[in-house]
Homo-oligomer: A and B are copies of this chain.
Amino acid sequence: MNIMIDQLSQTPIYEQIENQIRQIILSGELETNYMMPSIRKMAKELGVGIITVKRAYDDMCNEGLLVSIQGRGVFVASIDADKEKEIRLTQLRERLSELKVFCDTSDISKQELIEEITDMYND
């Protein structure tokens, strides 16, 4: 589990942690019931505060990707891959819907939009 923190980023540290853990779990790198590093250990490794890591773990528990068990630790939740994927896609569609409104009111065509995305992925 290799998590990188950018101390100067505008994105809150707890969110950086969440994003990377989410990516790792969704990529299938960790099995269900895998025990996450303890909050203290993770905080020490990343060089951030304990509260910050706790916030990240808590958020992921609410999200359903992690499960916290009193006195034992935090574990990777059992996930139905298809169902999870569908959730992500639904979230994506909501974001895309907002994006389309922006493009429509800004005179940006579908062509230009896709072109920008392609450029972005080529960097």
Contacts and interface: CB of A to CB of B under 8 A. Distances in A.
State the oligomeric state as a number of copies.
Answer: 4
SS class, residues of chain A in contact with chain B: helix
A91 B67 CA distance: 21
Nearest to A84: B107
A86 to B, nearest CB: 12
B105 A27 contact: yes
A90 to B, nearest CB: 11
A20 B105 contact: yes
Interface of A: 7-8, 10, 12, 19-20, 22-23, 26-27, 62, 67, 69-72, 75, 85, 88-89, 91-93, 95-97, 99-108, 110, 112-114, 116-118, 120-121
